[in-house]
């Protein structure tokens, strides 16, 4: 009689791989081969997780066709099964998986479209969080502002691609105008900001210097360092304006002084 | 967390599923209560906000599918903490989980997987249920699973296993009559005898649902897919359950091939008529 821990380890291996002889011996057939009974569970595990990925990555599913999507999802699930029961968190590594999945190699834009879809999923499920007031930093001396790091809204993600992934995404929505759906891959890259405004999730394009500024802040750089990143992209980048826009967009939930006295404004739950 | 032993008189509820949320919010239909899967609301975004709006008008039941009370390993304390936070926000009338496992070695398999019913398993599930009830500060209803296989070294019949779990942890039971029917069909067993073995006073909720029939090598296997109307055989079993357990809160589950809300309300209405008949029979017996 196998110990429960060993039985469950064998069951796990059998769900994501071939039958385990030790496990088959522990099963009663009741008129069927034990392997057929095991297959009923394996089928549900793989198809239900495939459905989760289909819900999170509908545009990828449309781009590669549903049958191929199921094939890719099967390989991904076996390689990177969920590590926790909240399945809206499952699929974070799917874009990286697609980037290296040999059958997808010709679809150079696919992984970046998947990154966009994952960012939309993150935005949809991010906790509700009030931004700091637009004038919160008004009375702070400039040199202090320069030393701040900001905490961005939890729904915010920045995605940059050498491909027009925004056009690809739009052309593959249910209400898209299919006659206008010829996309020139040489049209160039795009810098996107994905965010949730109240209950509406969406994205918009950012100018490259603005993207550089916001991406640096989102990565945790101090404001003066983020400004340097933006100025490298555009010599006469207006940092004061860029910061005011960021606050006006409601993209900042708090800030921290990087040196001297540490102080922070915190997120207020709605 | 509530439900410390008394059974709330809720009538018939339905499982709240994403395609119906907007309609329910807009029309506030006459439905006794709603049950939601805990794991779908553990993020703080719009789905939870919608549910918090419904809370004012309907009792809620939080039905967990991810606690993995049958895992040989320790419970996932992070998941348990998230469940506790959700319960504090929603203050549901009922809280339930499953006699099953889904996690091992840090991997979640998204299925209510079967357990061998042994003394070892019983000790493990008892520990997990006690610990979960301690952390959540309330009584859990534990649901009987639908099964497609059994283990050669299982020695305790499932309803007796559940009865012993109740005795040793003080938990309640969520009696899924469709699961009983499906498991007894697939693995052998008498559904009525199963119902008659459960400790009647522990049953705090009933589930009814539809199932599918698949052919496997010439043998019919019933799949608990919650994707069809409740069958006549399961309604008959439900009537027996009501006669034995009383008019406990009943949930109509429908999770795949989800139809219009009106279809679910029709099924819920059928369940209400069964409850009415059971109550009339009790009244006639007393009079």
d(C-alpha A49, C-alpha A69), whole Å = 12
Q: Is A52 on the interface with B (CB under 8 A)?
A: yes
d(C-alpha B136, C-alpha B125), whole Å = 16
CB contacts of B68 in chain A (<8 Å) are 85
Going by C-alpha positions, the residue among A155, A166, A142, A154 that lies closest to residue A224 is A142
Average pLDDT on B108-134 reads: 98
Yes or no, beta carbons of A8 and B118 under 8 Å apart: no
Domain boundaries, chain B: 12-286
**pLDDT, tens digit, for every residue of B168-194?**
999 999 999 999 999 999 999 999 999
Kind plus residue range of the DSSP H or E element containing B96:
strand B94-98
d(C-alpha A216, C-alpha A211), whole Å = 8
Contact yes or no for B125/B99 (Cβ under 8 A):
yes
d(C-alpha A135, C-alpha B35), whole Å = 43
d(C-alpha B55, C-alpha B73), whole Å = 35
Q: Residue A114's CB: how many other CB atoms inside 10 A?
A: 25
**CA geometry: angle at A192 spanning A189 and A193, to 5°?**
170
**Best residue in A84, A128, A196 for a mutation probing chain B (most B CBs within 10 Å):** A84
A137 secondary structure, DSSP code: T
Compute the count of residue pairs across chains A and B with CB atoms less than 8 Å apart: 141
The residue of chain B with its CA nearest to that of A14 is B109
CB contacts of A34 in chain B (<8 Å) are 149
Q: Residue B159: beta bridge partners? A: none
CB contacts of B76 in chain A (<8 Å) are 84-85
Q: Minimal Cα–Cα distance from B177 to chain A, Å?
A: 21
**pLDDT, tens digit, for every residue of B134-157?**
999 999 999 999 999 999 999 999
Domain boundaries, chain A: 1-107, 128-270
CB contacts of B152 in chain A (<8 Å) are 25-28
The residue of chain B with its CA nearest to that of A125 is B45
Yes or no, beta carbons of A27 and B149 under 8 Å apart: yes
d(C-alpha B184, C-alpha B188), whole Å = 5
Task: Report yes or no for ipTM above 0.90.
Answer: yes
Query: What confidence tier does B279 reach under pLDDT thresholds 50, 70, 90?
Result: confident
Yes or no, beta carbons of B101 and A8 under 8 Å apart: yes
d(C-alpha B175, C-alpha B198), whole Å = 9
d(C-alpha B240, C-alpha B246), whole Å = 10
Report the top-level CATH class of B12-286: alpha beta
d(C-alpha A42, C-alpha B109), whole Å = 9
Structure tokens at A192: 């996107």
Going by C-alpha positions, the residue among B127, B7, B5 that lies closest to residue B75 is B127
Per-residue H/E/C for B223-256: ECCCCCCCCHHHHHHHHHHHHHHCCCCEEEECCC
**CA geometry: angle at A183 spanning A178 and A185, to 5°?**
160
Structure tokens at A3: 């110990």
Q: What is the pLDDT of residue A265?
A: 42
Q: What is the pLDDT of residue A269?
A: 38
Yes or no, beta carbons of B151 and A28 under 8 Å apart: yes
Q: Is A48 on the interface with B (CB under 8 A)?
A: yes
Q: Is B104 on the interface with A (CB under 8 A)?
A: yes
Give the closest of A5, A34, A48 to B110, CB-based.
A48
Yes or no, beta carbons of A196 and B78 under 8 Å apart: no
DSSP string, A26-75: TEE-TTS-HHHHHHHHHHHHHHHHHHHHHHH-HHHHHHH-HHHHHHHHHH
φ, ψ dihedrals at A31, nearest 5°:
90, -10
Yes or no, beta carbons of B79 and A85 under 8 Å apart: yes
Structure tokens at B131: 């610990």
Regions of chain A with pLDDT less than 50: 260-270
Yes or no, beta carbons of A36 and B217 under 8 Å apart: yes
Q: What is the pLDDT of residue B8?
A: 62
**pLDDT, tens digit, for every residue of B218-259?**
899 999 999 999 999 999 999 999 999 999 999 999 999 999
Q: How many CA atoms lie within 13 A of B279 on its CB side?
A: 10
Q: What is the pLDDT of residue B209?
A: 96
CB contacts of B86 in chain A (<8 Å) are none
Residues 6+ apart with CB under 8 A from B267: B14, B208, B229, B230, B252, B254
What pTM was computed for the model? Answer: 0.93
d(C-alpha B204, C-alpha B7), whole Å = 6
Contact yes or no for B103/B134 (Cβ under 8 A):
no
Yes or no, beta carbons of A7 and B108 under 8 Å apart: no
């Amino acid at each position: 009689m196998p110990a429960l821990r060993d039985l469950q380890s064998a069951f796990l291996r059998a769900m994501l791989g071939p039958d385990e002889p030790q496990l088959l011996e522990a099963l009663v057939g009741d008129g069927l081969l034990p392997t057929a009974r095991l297959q009923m569970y394996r089928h549900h595990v793989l198809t239900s997780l495939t459905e989760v990925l289909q819900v999170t990555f509908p545009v990828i599913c449309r781009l590669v066709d549903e049958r191929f999507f199921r094939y890719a999802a099967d390989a991904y699930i076996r390689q990177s099964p969920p590590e926790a029961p909240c399945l809206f968190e499952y699929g974070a590594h799917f874009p990286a998986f697609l980037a290296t999945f040999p059958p997808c190699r010709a679809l150079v834009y696919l992984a970046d479209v998947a990154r966009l879809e994952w960012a939309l999923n993150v935005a949809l499920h991010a906790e509700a969080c009030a931004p700091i007031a637009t004038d919160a930093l008004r009375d702070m001396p400039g040199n202090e502002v320069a030393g701040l790091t900001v905490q961005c809204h939890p729904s915010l993600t920045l995605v940059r691609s050498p491909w027009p992934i925004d056009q690809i995404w739009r052309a593959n929505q249910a209400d898209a105008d299919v006659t206008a759906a010829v996309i020139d891959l040489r049209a160039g890259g795009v810098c996107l900001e994905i965010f949730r405004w109240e209950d509406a999730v969406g994205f918009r394009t950012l100018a490259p210097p603005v993207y550089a500024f916001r991406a640096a802040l989102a990565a945790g750089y101090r404001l003066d360092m983020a400004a340097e990143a933006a100025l490298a992209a555009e010599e006469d980048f207006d940092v004061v304006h860029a910061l005011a826009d960021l606050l006006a967009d409601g993209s900042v939930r708090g800030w921290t002084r990087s040196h001297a006295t540490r102080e922070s404004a915190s997120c207020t739950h709605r | 967390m509530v439900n410390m032993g008394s059974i709330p008189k809720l009538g018939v509820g339905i499982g709240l599923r994403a395609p119906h949320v907007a309609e329910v919010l807009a029309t506030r239909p006459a439905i006794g209560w709603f049950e939601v899967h805990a794991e779908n609301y553990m993020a703080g975004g719009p789905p939870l906000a919608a549910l918090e709006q419904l809370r004012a008008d309907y009792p809620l039941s939080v039905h967990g599918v991810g606690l993995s009370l049958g895992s040989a390993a320790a419970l996932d304390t992070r998941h348990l903490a998230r469940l506790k936070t959700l319960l504090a926000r929603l203050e549901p009338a009922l809280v339930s989980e499953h006699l099953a496992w889904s996690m091992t070695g840090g991997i979640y398999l998204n299925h209510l997987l079967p357990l061998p019913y042994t003394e070892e398993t019983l000790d493990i599930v008892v520990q997990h249920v006690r610990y979960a009830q301690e952390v959540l500060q309330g009584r859990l209803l534990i649901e009987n699973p639908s099964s497609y296989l059994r283990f050669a070294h299982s020695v305790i019949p499932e309803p007796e296993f559940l009865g012993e779990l109740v005795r040793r942890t003080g938990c309640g039971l969520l009696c899924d009559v469709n699961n009983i029917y499906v498991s007894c069909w697939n693995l052998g067993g008498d559904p009525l005898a199963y119902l008659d073995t459960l400790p009647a006073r522990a049953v705090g909720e009933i589930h009814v649902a539809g199932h599918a029939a698949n052919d496997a090598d010439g043998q019919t296997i019933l799949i608990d897919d919650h994707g069809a109307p409740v069958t006549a055989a399961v309604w008959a079993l439900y009537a027996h359950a009501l006669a034995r357990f009383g008019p406990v809160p009943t949930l109509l589950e429908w999770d795949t091939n989800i139809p219009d809300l009106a279809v679910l309300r029709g099924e819920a209405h059928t369940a209400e008529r069964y409850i009415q008949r059971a109550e009339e029979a009790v009244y006639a017996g007393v009079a």
